[in-house]
Amino acid sequence: MPVLQVRPGRLRPDTFRLRMRPSVPELVVRYGVRLVVGWRRELGVLVGALWLWGQLAGLVGADGARVLLGVAVLAVAVVGRWRRAVLGWLGVGRLRRRWAAACRAAGLEIGGRTPRVWRVRRTAAGAVMRVRVRDGQEVADLQRHALRLAAAMGGRGLRVVPDLEHAGRADVVLTTREALGELVTAEDLDADGEGASGLDAVVVGRREDGGPWLLRVRGSHVLVAGASGAGKGSVLWSILRGLGPHIHAGLVRIWAADPKGGMELGFGEPLFERFATDIGGIADLLEDAVAAMNRRTGWLRGRSRLHKPTTKEPLIVVMVDEIAALTAYATDREAKQKISAALSLLLSQGRAVGVVVIGAVQDPRKEVLPFRDLFQTRVALRMGASEVGLVLGDDAYTRGAWTDRIPMSLPGVGYVLVDGDPTPVRVRAAYVDDGEIHTMAARWGQAPDWAPAAWSALPGGGVPTPTLPMLGRPVRPIAPPPASPAAAAGPVAAAPPGSVAGPAAAGWVPDVGEYRPDEDTTVPLRAWTPEPPRALPPVPPADFDDGGPEAEAMWDRFVNRRTDRDQG
């Protein structure tokens, strides 16, 4: 029973202080029960081993029982599946004890009881615990003490995911190892994309739990925010790579805008139907997107509430790199107003009619990006703790989106938030290098206008395997040119799927089956177009250089021609 302590008062001698303290037997019972409950798995194993030894000793003797138990322990230690199962089962008990100790250290104990762990599930990054808070607590208490709990449990991080069906339950995601430290390559996207379902689940990278990061493109605007070098380009190119087969099939058309002069998106120009790099061209592109949206809205009225992409009415993806250069930093006031008005209309009305916007920005402040709340899917890469709330919501940092803790050595790592799910998910986008971008353009893109004539003008009329400019890495063969210069001037027909120039050959196969000049409402591109390839001057034979005057004169002419070509 409790012990009543009576002490004299501190201010007046005729007053007393009463204090209730638990008695020694009560303390022994309380902490004894806590000890037994906390170590119940280990005690169960010990009691089971003693019982089994007693049973075996009665059958084969004490020595035989020890031998059989030793063989059983050795088998568990050798067989990997058994060893992981036993250690994982025992590790759950250890994790429960660490959780209880961390809650007591963080002040989350009520009446000597801490939030209860119902079940534990191991993941690639650590463990997920299903927790129920005690009476008088709320899940927000766990979120506010997430950093303290992570430090007490010795983990890299801890995220609390509330259960939307019960206010007193939550999933506590404890991260003990960096599951996203390994680079995600383009081949990983192909392996993870086997179960993806078209435009509603485009494989972009990998989640922290080891599963694929699936991004919905159809019916969702996407905003990618992060500091310089955080990996925004990786997210954009991973999306383009996931959309590549749909681009080649004619179900998706990319209208790209790169205000940095095409430095970021210029490599993939064959993938784009529209490409603009200057402020005027980008304004025209966005206004044309609004016009296409309005036309499609009238056509879908009374027929459907959500656009379904077809080859005649494909999904239009307006991809804008560095939106802040258009909405806040542009010096042309008239063009900036046009761009802001067009983006506002596209973000508020274009989702249902199949005109979606994918944008990247460094500075997510409201004065820079006033319509950021219109994006349904938002990705926050490495940025300051005060900025993550501007992208993922006011309490995003409390809910575990610790973007300021992402190291610079992990570009492409961030947190994604989708409307309807308040929990940020840690992900990493795949890294698509320049060689893979060229391969994407050659496999799924459309050849530039000058390509057929340039191929026909080559010596012999053949099409050599091209090399990547400034990289020296060969890409997959491109489609063969037309048979004659006259045919080169006309449209280039797409090869059948089973032919050599089809998808199996991974070439530039223009898809112009649905194209009609009288229905084309696009304006000419204002982007830089690469010039056709030129043939290099002939190289003198190796045995010609004998040191004589004639050889020296020919070498001078060769050097001068090469220099003139480079300067021109």
Sequence-distant (6+) residues with CB within 8 A of 372 are 223, 361, 364, 366, 378, 390, 391
Tokens of 452: 């057929």
Categorize the per-residue pLDDT at 567 as very low, low, confident or very high, splitting at 50, 70 and 90.
Answer: very low
Instruction: State pLDDT tens for residues 170-222.
Output: 999 998 888 888 888 887 777 665 544 578 889 999 988 888 899 999 989 99
> E strand or H helix at 439, and its extent?
helix 434-444
HEC secondary structure over 221-281: CEEEECCCCCCHHHHHHHHHHHHHHHHHHCCEEEEEECCCCCCCCHHHHHHEEEEECCHHH
d(CA 400, CA 527): 42
Q: Report the pLDDT value the prediction gives residue 543, as an integer from 0 to 100.
A: 58
- Measured between alpha carbons, how far is 291 from 521 in angstroms, rounded to an integer? 9
Report the percentage of the chain scoring pLDDT > 70. 75
Task: Average the pLDDT over each of 74-88, 125-139, 470-484, 525-539 and give the range with the smallest value.
Answer: 470-484
The per-residue pLDDT for range 449-459, each reduced to its tens digit, is 545 555 455 45
Q: 561 or 263: which carries more pLDDT confidence?
A: 263
Give the pLDDT confidence score for residue 288 in this predicted structure: 93
Mean pLDDT of 286-296: 92
Q: What is the pTM of this model?
A: 0.67
Model confidence at 542: pLDDT above 60: no
**What is the C-alpha to C-alpha distance for residues 219 and 105, in angstroms, rounded to an integer?**
46
List beta partners, residue 159: 173
d(CA 78, CA 72): 10
